[in-house]
Structure 1
Amino acid sequence: MNTKILAGLLLATASGLFAGNAKLAHELESIDPNGSVDVIVQLKHPVNDGLLSSVVRGGELKKKLNAANGGLYRLPANMLKSLASDPEVVYISPDRPLKGLLEYAEPTINANIALQNGWSGTGVTVAIIDSGITVSGDLQELLLNRISYSKSFVPGSNSTQDAYGHGTHVAGIVGGNGSNSSGLLYTHSFVGIAPNVKLVNLRVLDQNGQGTDSQVIAAIDEAIALKVDIINLSLGRPVFESYTVDPLCQAVEQAWKAGIVVVVAAGNDGRVNTAGTHGYATITAPGNDPYVITVGAMKDQATLTRSDDTIASYSSKGPTILDHIVKPDVVAPGNNINSMLAGTNATLYQTSTTLLEKSYYMSLPELSLSPGPYSNNYFKLSGTSMAAPMVSGIAALLLQKDPTLTPDTIKARIMKTATKTFPASSTVTDSTGTYIDYYDIFTVGAGYVDAWAALNCTDRATLPALSPTAVQTAPGVVKISNTSIGGTAAVWGSAAVWGSAAVWGSTVTDESTAAVWGSAAVWGSAAVWGSNAPAGTAAVWGSAAVWGSTAVWGSSTADTDASNVLYNLTE
């Protein structure tokens, strides 16, 4: 990667985004003062009804948001600056819109071996915060529904059914048991990673796959109150400010600190080059938060082995914009994934015939192996939205084996045991162009997840497993920071808890012989990119502003239109 690209993004991001009032999100600086606006107000002290009412006088409190330590308000825009001057107020941001971002995938990550050895997620509860879940035979056990709780956070709708078709597909990847594709009538069975988990259905996306920050934060509040074990967030939006003040990031941190494993899709902008980054620095929120497990997408190539697998070119790459957190944490299969269909009326099914997957029925008279008509039970989707639930499923297997594991230990085990052998690069060409990917730490993270290896890992994290920070130490030289983020000591600190085993091997860090994780130091001094690094990363640390007409999230961003976010990604 051309170090000038990556040596581009660090110096710039803070200057353009944090000019003006430090407590106001930059979009609110130029809003029409004569109108009204929905905003999320985060407060300094623990939130309570009296505090929420006293701080914002003249505004309507629409929703209390515990996970963000604040509330959603409707208020006159001309109140924003005076509200920002209140010492109790930490940060004010708009209620931003967001959207949703197995027969080969399961054995590719060795989940089939885990299932054969009795690990199926029994006793573990996973919250699917998405577009809802439509009940299917694949989510039942002896006719009992494995969806233990459902609630809608979509304004004006109490239905928790999946009108979009995204959440059901995600739920099937985590916990579908393949009952609608099992038996002599089928040639393939579509079984999820943890086919006996309990699911909590928290609907935040509407029939078009659209939602807002406040809806997701309210659902996270609910998941914390329910004491679920895992939250899966196969959704996201652009990064607008540091994770330290972003209300969506603060909410996922609260869930993590409450003992919940949070797994998030990395985003689908790996092909975006509107800011000259060649897809780098495109991780979406809340996947930019250092606590959560952020997942990129691999292509399993419809084979049972991982030796021919390659990164999906649309998979978003790190480091994160503004904070330069090393993301994604790991990668998992996400391309052309077969999973549960919410129904033929679901928006995703209706809007493109490319989503339809041939049924695996065999005709009884002929016992033919040829595919039958289109299936009413399964279909294919692609994206990091499909990769994230693979990791949520692995987390469920780990918790079934040992319910005492902390989110930090689960994250560290999944990262440590991930496969670190990759090609130097891969290329894909389609009607939109040719895309070259390099297998560095910002593309594949700690590696390609391996469920069976993670189950056999016995290491425990004694400190937080925060994803580290990338730092430009000299022109063209990028290194991993030492031991902490914001003063918090991390599990990859000066005292190695893993011994000499690498979390990041030399194949995913740089072209030097020294690994980032070495036997002498947990975070070594080897540069992520050396002088001979492959081309591909400009304005990540550069002086050019990331916002504007050529912004990272510009008009050519693949995720601008929700109708493109999933099914047009397939490679």
Structure 2
Amino acid sequence: RLAGIFHGSRLSDFSSRGPTTDSPPRVKPDICAPGEDITSVGIAKDRGGCQRCCCNSCRSFYVDLSGTSMSAPHVTGLIALMLHKNPNLTHTEIKNLLTANFAPKPAGSTPDEDVGWGAGRADAKKTVDTVTQVNPPVSKVVAALPPVTALHKTFLETDRGPILDKLFHEHADEVWELIQKNRRVATVWHRCRGPVWVRFALKAAQTPCEAVPLETAGLRFTDACTRFAQALKRFGSEALRRDVKIWESEVSHVRDGMTLLEIITAVGNRPNTLMAARSVG
């Protein structure tokens, strides 16, 4: 059985105190682990914000929780490390290793806390170091980052890449400000699943040879772009409205099953009629 501790120093008020009531009494809990203000996955009722107008990705998926249930993952992870070194450990051996390799309780522990510490605080390093090595140690491998810079270079080498890149730099700050400060634009952005599309784009930059999702929660990418473009044309600056009107139809050239590299080629190498229209405008 686990006890919870607060920031590694004090036994939490909610943590149970021993000993057991049988005869002879036994020490319970067995060991302590962090269990207060632990960041954990939140469920729907834990999240704040507008549930109707905001998409899931804009609400926090994580909350700070307290309880011995929050101590359990700490010890579970420790046991996983132990079993990696020696998958033959029995339940009894695991418990004995945990309770024999503890960190001492802090000085100044009260009598009420003394009966709740069990063996003491779980000490991950000390415990794992004591486990007999059976499996070979895991080597540290640093994965190379995907060539995002190379993607940008590929984009700039297309016929229209430079002007599209310039458009982004001209209007990105204004669009972001509208999302942050204009409630109507923000509402459209969230209802169009804007953050979800951004997340898809970020993933696509890491996997440029995989198909990019063009639908989420029944909403097509082209439809989302059309709706958001309407909001920008209503609330944006004159320059932003002009360029949105000129370029908004370009999203129709993005097809199901296309990879990011294919999208770059398809959009970047289309005829230059739109660039001429922009220069005239």
TM-score band by shorter chain is 0.3 to 0.5
Report which structure shows greater RCO (CA 8 Å, sep ≥6).
1
Q: Whose radius of gyration is greater, 1 or 2?
A: 2
TM-score after normalising by structure 2: 0.40
